[in-house]
Amino acid sequence: MEQALGAVALPLVAAFLMPVLYRWLRWRLGLAALAVAAATFILVILTPNMSLVIPWVSQLGIDLSIHVDGWSRLFALLIAGIGTLVVLYSIPYLGSREDLGKFYAYLLIFMGAMLGVVYAGNVMLLYVFWELTSISSFLLIGFWNTRDDAQYGALKAILITFGGGLAMLGGLAILGTVGGTFELSGLLANRTELLAQPLTTVALVLLLIGAFTKSAQFPFHIWLPDAMAAPTPVSAYLHSATMVKAGLFLIGRLWPIFHVHPLWVPVVATVGMVTMVVGSFLAIQKTDLKAVLALSTVSQLGLIMWLFGLATPEAAQAGTFHLLNHSTFKALLFMVVGIVDHQTGTREIPLLSGLRRAMPVSAALAMVGAASMAGVPLLNGFLSKEMFLTAVNNSSMGLAGAVVATGASLFTTLYCLMLGHKIWFGEPGETPDEPKEGSRTILVPPLILAVIIVAVGVFPALAESAVVGPAVAAVLQAPAELPHIALWHGFTPALLMTALALGGGLLAYTALPGVLAACRRVTPQRYHLNALYDFLWWKNQAVEKAAKWITNRQMTGYLRDYLVYTLGATALLFFGTMLVKGVRIPALNLSPVGPWEFLLAAIIAVGAVFTARARTRLAAIASISLVGMPLSVLFGLLRAPDLALTQVVVESVTVVLFLLVFPHLRQITLYPRRRSTNVNVLVALAVGALGTVVTLLANGARLFPPQVAEWFLRNSMELGGGNNVVNVILVDFRGFDTMGEITVLTVAGLAVYMLIRLRKQQAGGGKS
């Protein structure tokens, strides 16, 4: 228990200390952050499978729950392990020229938030940490906040991921309400009953939107390439190994509940397949190394999403294994690209070639990472790529799915050759800085990742027993006969598909200029998703302009307009709810209405109309008296003399106050447009109808048993000494309430009296 709590709390607490420690440690602050990350990694390793509930907002079903199983352990190891390597890598990469206090604070907040996401046992607690990852990633992407590309990328990322997060919140709220609990264990236990509820489909759609936006699935993938404006350590951590995997983590958590839902396979698998194809197709067209890696990440995330969307245990196993492998080889490649940028001053592929002579270690590391991503044998990526192709070939997609998977893998091979061969071989190019190998410190993290890639590729059973197997079991939540991960499964269709992808990619690489020209001809140049985003949010700012137009229409500065919006919306909601719910006014047993009541009601209506149409304040005051005074007479006719007397007093005092205040105000201004007056009339009629309907509904409702009213009628004279039941209730049965009200009025009156005396004393020079 302590290990799990410590793993989440340690980086969050340390984050707030980083800016303070920076004053004393300066460039050595990275060592302190490294110690925090390493300690967090140790705590993650020591954390056993467990469930813990700490009461928080129990009335709403929201508690500080921790749930650790194989699925969360896999992610926690990636978050803390790769996070430690990234912090080590950032020390020589950033040096002392950056605001390290701010950088490490943001990075540790993100680490703690991600661990909170994967350890959360309550879905609402998961959402809190989920949004904290969006906030911290926004700060990290915009770390170089004076650059336009950083501002653009950070804003795009937070708008898309926050929008998805709001959709996800709606889905979680529906899921918890329908399931009767927000605890993950309770939802998993009641998954059969959940699927029988019609609102579950709505919850699924909203939750998938949240997962797709976070994991950069099509059409929400556009934020990830622009997030590359962040420093390379951020890209290696957030956008390859952790943040973009949060959506996949949610998919894995939802898999036991929703994988049998009719929408799961067509939506999740199709979105994953399209994302893989689009990402790989766009990646080969980029000339910036980080842009190639960003879009290759989109493609690989689509691959994993596709696997989980197939809804078979074998596909879930392949998706889990490839998730692990992708985190290792993609983090390695980001680090190597960062070294290239750091040592040459550029990331543009046309300017880079022949770097292996000056940077032999980096070249070897890049080849290992690129070969693993392409699916070359003896590396971990080959194993999970084979499992992917097998799962797709055996799925309901059949031959069509196999063809698409092979074609997308061919594009994968092509951009992997660009990363692992093009910039390293050939004649040296002209770069802004003279190329040279990176320092030993900056090479250690990618070297460790390369060792893991080779070790898992040669000895996959170790990864299967230690990490992958327990994670798959946690996803499936049911026993399943799964094939063991092995280096060789014989001559299978998947092996043929791999050979076609590798051979076809190598062949396309030999004719790369022609292939790129053909791809660019079919790529939209004007009308695409980024252009739509720019139109809505950045260049044209259509959303902001629309918001300003709406605001200007609403915020007019006139109270009458605000009343129209508020009261009109209230009436619409009220009558709309009645219509949807089928509410009807019950049968009523009302007293007969005589001619005097009709006459007084007509006078009140005439007074209201004259008040609304008055052109001077004096006329308005006189007209409003036609509303109040007849109302007091009506109370008298209905045998309520106390109410009649109260109404007379209130009416008299109100008229006096109006006469005192109105001379100090501007003259009445009428609406210049007839349309506004008509709207006012409609809203007034709607509010009047609302009041009438509410009164009739209240008169027909019986919230309490009739014995209560009968008791008051029977005991009013005997216990209270009065025939007026209302007065007896106020004075005797609820005497303390009435005394409290009188006390409040007395205190208010004394306060007003003291203010008047104080003003007189000030006016008289202090003499009373």
Average pLDDT for the chain: 89
Nearest CA to 141 out of 116, 115, 117, 159 is that of: 159
Which has the higher per-residue pLDDT, 729 or 277?
A: 277
**What are the DSSP calls for 142-208, one per residue?**
TSSTTSHHHHHHHHHHHHHHHHHHHHHHHHHHHHHHHHT--BHHHHHHTHHHHHTSTHHHHHHHHHH
Which residues, 6 or more positions from 445, have their beta carbon under 8 angstroms from its beta carbon?
Answer: 85, 86, 88, 89, 335
Whether a cis peptide bond, with omega within 30° of 0, leads into 219 is yes
Q: Which residue has the higher pLDDT, 596 or 367?
A: 367
Q: Which residues, including other chains, have CB under 8 Å from residue 23's CB and lie 6 or more apart?
A: 101
Q: Which is nearest to 385 in space by CA: 545, 471, 494, 469? A: 494
pLDDT of residue 767: 47
Give the C-alpha separation, 633 to 126, whole Å.
62
Q: Residue 611's pLDDT is what?
A: 82
Helices (H), 2-147: 2-25, 29-46, 70-94, 100-119, 123-141
- Strand, helix or coil at 64? strand
Q: Strand, coil or helix: what is 635? A: helix
Tokens of 751: 């306060």
Task: Compute CA distances 242 → 304, 453, 644, 768, whole Å.
Answer: 14, 18, 71, 76
Spell out the long-range contacts of 756-759 with Cβ–Cβ below 8 A and sequence spacing 24 or more.
none
User: Looking up tokens 């004007």, which residue turns up?
Assistant: 526
C-alpha distances in angstroms, 687 versus 492, 584, 631, 694?
A: 74, 18, 19, 10
Distances (CA, A) of 139 to 17, 105, 530, 675: 17, 10, 22, 48
When pLDDT is averaged across residues 74-82 and rounded to a whole number, the result is 96
Q: Quick check: 299 and 283 in contact, CB under 8 A?
A: yes
Q: Which pLDDT belongs to residue 674? A: 56
Residue whose token pair is 């910039």 = 423
Q: Is 767 exposed, middle or buried (0-12, 13-18, 19+ CB in 10 A)?
A: exposed
- DSSP β-ladder status, 50-57 and 62-68: antiparallel
Phi-psi category of residue 166: left, alpha or beta, with phi > 0 → left and psi -120 to 50 → alpha: alpha
- Cα 577 to Cα 193: distance, rounded to the nearest angstrom: 28
Tell me which H or E stretch contains 655. helix 641-661
Share of the chain above pLDDT 90, in %: 56
The amino acid that residue 523 corresponds to is T
Spatial distance between the Cα atoms of 164 and 148, rounded to a whole number of angstroms = 24
Asked if 498 and 385 count as a contact pair (C-beta separation under 8 A), the reply is yes
* Beta carbons of 401 and 270 less than 8 angstroms apart: no
- CA-based torsion, 453, 459, 460, 463: positive or negative: negative
CA distances for 603 relative to 608, 625, 628, 629, angstroms: 9, 10, 10, 10
Q: Contact at 8 Å (CB) between 411 and 331? A: no
pLDDT at 303 over 90: yes
- What distance in Å separates the CA atoms of residue 465 and residue 485, rounded to the nearest whole number? 10
State the SS3 of 535-593.
HHHHCCCHHHHHHHHHHHHHCCCCHHHHHHHHHHHHHHHHHHHHHHHCCCCCCCCCCCC
Q: What is the rounded CA–CA span in Å between residue 761 and residue 768?
A: 5
Distance of CA 764 to the CA centre of its chain: 63
Q: What is the DSSP string of 674-685?
A: HHHHHHHHHHHH
Q: Residue by residue, what is the 3-state secondary structure of 368-415?
A: HHHHHHHCCCCCHHHHHHHHHHHHHHCCCCHHHHHHHHHHHHHHHHHH
Listed in sequence order, the residues at least 6 apart from 270 whose beta carbon sits closer than 8 Å to its beta carbon are 309
pLDDT at 508: 94
How confident is the model over 723-753, as pLDDT tens digits?
778 778 878 887 777 788 888 888 888 888 8
Q: What is the pLDDT of residue 764?
A: 66
**For residue range 45-69, what is the model confidence (pLDDT) as tens digits?**
999 998 888 888 887 788 889 999 9
Give mean pLDDT, residues 710-720. 82
Q: What is the pLDDT of residues 648-696, one digit of tens each?
A: 888 888 888 777 777 776 665 555 555 677 788 889 899 999 998 888 8
Q: What mean pLDDT is predicted for residues 85-101?
A: 89
Distance between CA 108 and CA 114 in Å, rounded?
10
- Count Cβ atoms below 10 Å from residue 293 Cβ, excluding itself: 29
- Pick the range with the lowest mean pLDDT from 87-101, 590-604, 608-622: 608-622
764 or 239, higher pLDDT: 239
Q: What value does the mean pLDDT take over residues 536-541?
A: 78
- pLDDT computed for residue 714 by the predictor: 83
Compute the distance between CA of residue 726 and CA of residue 356 in angstroms, rounded to an integer: 96
In contact, 286 and 299? CB cutoff 8 Å: no
**Amino acid making up residue 334:** F
Q: Compute the distance between CA of residue 609 and CA of residue 623 in angstroms, rounded to an integer.
A: 8
pLDDT tens-digit series, residues 344-403? 999 999 999 999 999 999 999 999 999 999 999 999 999 999 999 999 999 888 889 999
Q: Summarize the confidence of residues 531-537 as an average pLDDT.
A: 86
Determine what percent of the chain is predicted with pLDDT higher than 70: 97
Q: Do the Cβ atoms of 341 and 232 come closer than 8 Å?
A: yes
What are the pLDDT digits (tens) for 486-524? 888 778 899 999 999 999 999 999 999 999 999 988 888
768 has pLDDT over 50: no
End-to-end CA, the chain: 72
Strongest mean pLDDT among 226-240, 294-308, 506-520: 294-308
Nearest residue to 85 via CA among 41, 131, 150, 24:
41
